[in-house]
Amino acid sequence: MNESTLDPALIPEGRTVIGDQPFSFHCHPDVSCYKACCRRLELYLYPYDVLRLKNRLGLPSSRFMHQHTRLGRGSHPYFPAVLLNMAENDEQTCPFLSDQGCTVYSDRPSACRTYPLERAVEKTGTGSDLSAYYFMTHHAYCRGHFEDRQYTLRQWERDQVLYEYNRMNDLWAEVDAFFATNPWQGEGVAGPLQQLAFMVCYNLDEFRAYVARYDLLRRSRLDKERRRRVERDDAELLKFGFSWLLSELGSGSLR
Ligand code: SF4
Ligand code: SF4
């Protein structure tokens, strides 16, 4: 999608839409602002971000959530957002920042990976088709915009290894859009159904135990090969969880 097809009302303040034209940016340890962007952050974590970070740190998901996150207001009132806690020091640095840079670099969250761009998706048509577009942010402290290197969007996605994150975040966007319809069957927010949904999205280790306890994979009639993948792989389990939630809460059949 490019600026000519995007409703200008959807463009957040202070951002410009990035289309097919290359943009200038380069972040490296010699920029004068190195690590300036890793402090005092409202860093939102999506379910796949939590999966990657808890595995990177070797923590059970409940411990990661308890130790490193807090709940905040999401994009709608029917499901909370999850934010990373900053360290309790004067600069409120990210807990994963060291003198050398990011200590979780290959598993850093989507927002860090995409920066200085931001990615948004829009549902198109009646199916699950999404259009994605990127905005450029313009923070005065970030000197990377004045470097010579240029990227196209495709080069940026490749350089930042964004494909798997984008794929998982698009699935999450579909689930979150469904949560925005208040599907909690009259229980209200923070009722048992919403808590179950929160566990599936953010407490994957507990969901794995839940799946085994209720024999969900067999009851969901997954074929053997997919069952094996879900049993072994957290990302496959999360994908199954998204699909299971949509089917349990009444937005379609299990995929
Ligand atoms: S996760 Fe890494 S890149 Fe992101 S804010 Fe923390 S230190 Fe910076
Ligand atoms: S502020 Fe910009 S250029 Fe500086 S370290 Fe952060 S992303 Fe890189």
Sorted by where each begins, the domain ranges of the chain are 3-176, 188-248
Q: Quote the ligand 1 centre to 109 CA distance (angstroms).
A: 8
pTM of this prediction?
0.92
Distance of alpha carbon 235 from alpha carbon 170, whole angstroms: 13
Alpha carbons 57 and 52: distance in angstroms, whole number: 9
C-beta 65 within 6 A of ligand 1: no
CA distance 150 to 127: 35
CA-nearest of 238, 163, 156, 160 to 205 is 238
Cα maximum dimension of the chain: 56
CA of 115, nearest ligand number: 2
Closest Cα to atom 8, ligand 2: which residue? Answer: 27
What pLDDT, in 10s, does the model give residues 182-219? 999 888 788 999 999 999 999 999 999 999 999 999 99
| Cα 200 to averaged position of ligand 1 atoms, centre (Å) | 25
43: tokens are 């860093």
**How far, in Å, is the centroid of ligand 1 from the Cα of 107?**
10
pLDDT in tens, 19-34: 888 999 999 999 999 9
Average pLDDT over residues 60-71: 98
For the chain, strand residue ranges (E) read 16-18, 23-24, 44-45, 69-72, 81-84, 97-98, 101-102, 117-123, 130-136, 150-151
* CA separation for the pair 191, 184 (Å, rounded): 8
Task: Compute the C-alpha angle 53/231/108, nearest 5°.
Answer: 15
d(CA 128, CA 123): 7
CA-CA distance, 215 to 221, in Å (whole number)? 10
127/44 Cα distance (integer angstroms): 27
For 128-149, write each residue's pLDDT tens digit. 677 888 999 999 999 999 999 9
Q: Is the pLDDT of residue 2 over 50?
A: no
pLDDT tens digits for 84-126? Answer: 999 999 999 999 999 999 999 999 999 999 999 999 888 776 6
Helix-strand-coil percent breakdown of the chain, rounded to 5?
45, 15, 40
Ligand 1 atom 2, closest CA: 102
